[in-house]
Amino acid sequence: MTVTLTPVLTARWDQADSFTLRNYEKADGYKALRRALQRKPEDIVEMVKDSGLRGRGGAGFPTGMKWSFIPKDSAKPTYLVVNADESEPGTCKDIPLMMADPHVLVEGVIITSYAIGAKHAFIYVRGEVLHVFRRVMNAVAEAYESGYLGQDILGSGFDLDVVVHAGAGAYICGEETALLDSLEGRRGQPRLKPPFPAVAGLYASPTVINNVETIASVPSIVSGGAEWFRSMGNEKSPGYGIFSLSGHVTKPGQYEAPLGITLRELLDLAGGIRNGHELKFWTPGGSSTPMLTAEHMDVPLDFEGMAGAGSMLGTRALQIFDDTTCVVRATARWIEFYKHESCGKCTPCREGFWWMVQILERLEKGEGTEADLDKLLDMSDNIAGRSFCALADGGVAPVVSSIQYFRDEYIAHFEHGGCPFDPAASTLFAQELGAKA
């Protein structure tokens, strides 16, 4: 078998107390920073550009290019903001990363800030992960004590302050401009773009916003080099990434592999779908990426591959559902999420998801009609692309894709006069609940 895993970001997670500065330094931590500080900031930007690293927060924008948009001659300070809001349903990679190896993130923050000329950086962590917040705060405190943060870092003349900031429960704050509003102490509502954050971001100043995994990849690129990074993955989607398998797989968890690995290969590694069942549907990168089915198991999990299959790589949050799962129930629950999380700024999103929940609940109970399906598709057209931000586009993804692949199952609900599935059968404790299946 040619597929192998390539632990880089996850390489230290099984070591005792991997989160302490001492253990990070023992593993050559902060050496990349020393190297970076001996080079010109522009060289670091060039190197990250050459590596082809693309944002790991979902959209896959080229990271080096994003950094190069920061104006060189701005009178205002430049800021780095790390998006650690990880709330896209299914996504669970940044949280274990910050818990096990917060220093690799801090080192990435320092190198990136040096590269873009920021003297102030923020790590915006969702509030609902107390211990992760503790670990990141602690890592930052340790970095200050050892002279990796503060004034004149390692004698380089470079100064940097880092603030670890807790959110307060709002999925929309993961959207980069909503995050900025939230970080400014406001309701987290997206801003109109342009201006893009690189020009007018935090406090209307030039700002780079990157995902945790993106920033955590920077130290290894500085140490290993752009060519090394490119030796994994492929031309348009180079490098490694964390693939998070959850749901009905034998061994759910984190698998770090070159981009372009397939679901079939990952499932092989994860012991397959749980015993006695088969794959029904899955999301490649969270609930906002259109679901796929068993026929897509051999499509490369990279940006182009997933786009070609009508979906998106997203956050590589592979939520896997077997034949016991009702797709109507799954979709209805996801739409409840988008309804709950809509920031309320635009009507199609705020009202649309509300109506969709009503319809989906009706359908789940077997009280819908085929006309409801067309209505859902029609509403999807009116929500996506007519709203302010990408929450709306992501939110219609489960509706459109589930009707595309499982129209018959929706129809079976009203033919059957209710849901034909036993919810107990899909649980991990099906036997105890006396499931029928």
Ligand X SMILES: Cc1cc2nc3c(=O)[nH]c(=O)nc-3n(C[C@H](O)[C@H](O)[C@H](O)COP(=O)(O)O)c2cc1C
Site residues (CB under 6 A) for ligand X?
55-59, 61, 83, 85-88, 172, 174-176, 209-211, 214, 389-391
Query: Of 242, 214, 229, 238, whose CA–CA distance to 81 is shortest?
Result: 214
- For residues 253 and 270, the answer to whether their CB atoms sit within 8 Å is yes
Closest CB to ligand X among 59 and 309? Answer: 59
- Beta bridge partners, 249, equal 273
Rule CB under 6 A: is residue 334 a binding residue for ligand SF4? no
Choosing among another protein, ligand X, ligand SF4, none, which partner's interface includes residue 350 (Cβ < 5 to 8 Å by kind)? ligand SF4
Of 43 and 268, which has the nearer Cβ to another protein? 268
For ligand SF4, which is the closer residue by CB, 190 or 290? 190
Residue closer to ligand X by CB (options 266, 317) is 317
Q: Please state the separation of Cα 350 from the chain's center in Å.
A: 23
Measured in degrees and rounded to the nearest 5, phi and psi for residue 159 equal -110, 140
145 binds another protein (CB under 8 A): no
Using CB under 6 A as the binding rule, whether residue 349 contacts ligand SF4 is answered as yes
The rounded distance, in Å, linking the Cα atoms of 315 and 56 is 6
Note the Cα 413 to chain centre separation in Å. Answer: 33
Helices and strands counted in the chain (H then E): 17, 9
Q: How far apart are CA 50 and CA 41, in angstroms?
A: 14
Site for ligand SF4 in 392-421 (CB under 6 A): 392
- Binding of ligand SF4 by 387 (CB under 6 A): yes
Q: Smaller CB distance to another protein: residue 318 or 383?
A: 318
State yes or no: residue 433 binds another protein (CB under 8 A): yes
Residues 21-80 touching another protein, rule: CB under 8 A, are: 26-29, 31-32, 77
Minimum Å gap between C-beta 349 and ligand SF4 is: 3
Q: Which does 61 bind (CB under 5 to 8 A by kind): another protein, ligand X, ligand SF4, none?
A: ligand X
Cα→Cα distances 379→47, 383, 387, 414, Å = 45, 6, 12, 21
Among ligand X, another protein, ligand SF4, none, residue 210 binds (CB under 5-8 Å by kind): ligand X
Count of C-beta atoms within a 10 Å radius of residue 343: 21
State the number of binding residues for another protein (CB under 8 A).
Answer: 114
Q: From the CB of 91, what's the least distance to ligand X, in Å? A: 7
DSSP assignments along 82-139, one per residue: EEE---STT--SHHHHHHH-HHHHHHHHHHHHHHHTEEEEEEEE-TT-HHHHHHHHHH
Span 72-91, contacts to ligand SF4 by CB under 6 A: none
CA distance 94 to 107: 15
HSE, CB side, 13 Å, CA atoms: give it for residue 237: 24
Stretch that binds ligand SF4, among 213-221, 256-264, 302-310, 385-393 (CB under 6 A): 385-393
Distance set, CA 199 to CA 84, 117, 343, 401 (Å) = 22, 14, 24, 36
Q: Does 172 participate in binding ligand SF4 (rule CB under 6 A)?
A: yes
Question: Binding of ligand SF4 at residue 180 (CB under 6 A)?
Answer: no
Q: Are 290 and 401 in contact (CB under 8 A)?
A: yes
Contact assessment for residue 93 and residue 314, using Cβ atoms and an 8 Å cutoff:
no
Distance CA 30, CA 203 (A): 30
Piece of 126-134, 292-300, 378-386, 411-419 that binds another protein (CB under 8 A): 126-134
Residue 5 site contact among another protein, ligand SF4, ligand X, none (CB < 5 to 8 Å, cut-off depends on kind): another protein
Under rule CB under 6 A, how many of the chain's residues touch ligand SF4?
A: 14
As measured in angstroms, the least distance from the Cβ of 172 to ligand SF4 is: 5
Compute the distance between CA of residue 313 and CA of residue 304 in angstroms, rounded to an integer: 8
Binder of ligand SF4 out of 18, 210, 262, 342 (CB under 6 A): 342
Q: How far apart are CA 421 and CA 39, in angstroms?
A: 61
**2 makes contact with another protein (CB under 8 A):** no
**Are the C-beta atoms of residues 363 and 395 closer than 8 Å to each other?**
no
Span 284-313, contacts to another protein by CB under 8 A: 287
Q: Which is nearer to ligand SF4, 141 or 390 (CB)?
A: 390
Decide: helix, strand or coil at residue 422.
coil
- 325 near another protein, judged by CB under 8 A: yes
270 binds ligand SF4 (CB under 6 A): no
Shortest approach of another protein to residue 263 CB, angstroms?
14
272 is a contact residue toward another protein (CB under 8 A):
no
Q: Which residues bind ligand SF4 (CB under 6 A)?
A: 172, 190, 342-346, 349-350, 387-389, 391-392
